[in-house]
Amino acid sequence: MQSELKSPGRRRTPRSLFFPLLLIALGIVLLLENLGLLGESVGAILLKLWPFLLILLGVDGILDRSGVAGPSFLIGLGIVFLLSNFGYLQVDVWQALFTLWPILLIAWGFDWVFGRRTWLTSLIGVIVTLAVLIMAVSFLNGGLNPAARQAIAHDLANAEKLEMTLNLPAASLRVRPASSAEAQIDGFIPRSSIFEVQEEFSLQDERAVYNLSLQGNFVAVPGLSGNWLWEFALPAQPELILHIQQGAGNVDLDLSGLALQTLNAEFGAGQFKVVLPAGEDATVKISGAVGQMLIIVPKQAAIRLRCDRGLAFLRLPDDYHGDGVEYTSPSYDQASQKIELDLSMAVGAVIIQAR
């Protein structure tokens, strides 16, 4: 009789496994550090491994049976960022995201058809979505993406100074020293039906001015028209004044061998990497909202750094000294080359390397 009067038990809500999985991963990294099996510092390893947070969130979503689309997207996003952080992804990570975003639509489709019915159907949806992602990333990584790009060239003639302004709301930007001795700007820019490239180039006495910006509703459907990689090759002379404004994406500037005078840059989200030239005094001002800022400076150059950071991690060479806001490299006052760095980062990491 007593058993018949028992009320049905309450359905227990499954607990989230995100934090237990996070503790396990963190414990493994710290254990390897204590055993001396890590070739890099814990901070450097954690900077590379942060995409595991996305993967753990995705796995937690699968175990919680919260559908296919969200967990698959998070796991795929984490895999792409991990491959990029460890150098296995040759294509730019933001270029990959701009190109591969339709996979999210595939995941949503599986979610509506199969999601939450059974563990098996959910698992099949995740496996199929990740398989499509892996094949697409392999396709991009092999350089098979037939994106339409337009070559540009602007003759600098006898200009002694080049002022270059790039305004790219969402893109992957690369700047390199030119391989030839010709005094001209060479590059490749994307062609698309959803935005229009505005180029302005002029020679004024001994000064060259190049401005590039975009017009159009391209942010609404990123990657729909192919490659969003912008590449420029610049000559060793003339003196360079470079202005960059970018919303989302990666910036990769190899300015070694160039006569850099001033670099002013702002970016919203992404990775900003710049290699500064040896033998040239320069003023560099960069501000970012979310992401990583990597500044590679010449070993022989004297550096004075002012860094304003909110929740950003700061890593400097061991011989730099400062008060938490301003830092200088050894023998700053006596050095023949001086670089002034004025950096600002809200969330992420600021890394200065000397080589």
- Distance between CA atoms of residues 262 and 278, nearest Å: 14
Q: Identify whether 247 is part of a domain.
A: yes
State how beta strands 196-204 and 149-155 pair. unpaired
Domain boundary at 141, 169, 188, which? Answer: 141
**What tens digit of pLDDT does each residue of 224-283 get?**
334 467 899 999 989 999 999 998 778 999 999 899 999 999 998 888 999 999 888 899
Handedness of CA 89, 91, 97, 100 (dihedral sign): negative
Q: What does pTM read for this prediction?
A: 0.65
208 and 100 housed in the same domain: no
220 and 186 housed in the same domain: yes
Domain boundary at 111, 141, 171, which? Answer: 141
- Distance between CA atoms of residues 341 and 325, nearest Å: 12
**What tens digit of pLDDT does each residue of 178-195 get?**
988 888 999 988 776 566
Q: Identify whether 10 is part of a domain.
A: no
161 and 273 housed in the same domain: yes
Tokens coding 274? 């710049």
CB-based burial of residue 290 (10 Å sphere; 0-12 exposed, 13-18 middle, 19+ buried)?
middle
264 and 327 housed in the same domain: yes
Q: Report how many domains make up the chain.
A: 2
324 and 185 housed in the same domain: yes
Which of 182, 176, 242 is closest to 209 using CA atoms? 242
Residue type present at position 34: N
pLDDT of residue 345: 92
Which of 215, 252, 229, 248 is closest to 149 using CA atoms? 229
65 and 107 housed in the same domain: yes
101 and 156 housed in the same domain: no
Q: Where are the alpha helices (DSSP H) in the chain?
A: 18-34, 42-49, 52-63, 69-85, 93-100, 103-113, 119-141
**What tens digit of pLDDT does each residue of 38-67 get?**
656 666 666 677 788 888 888 777 777 666
Domain boundary at 84, 112, 141, which? Answer: 141
254 and 326 housed in the same domain: yes
For 104, the domain range is 18-141
Q: Identify whether 13 is part of a domain.
A: no
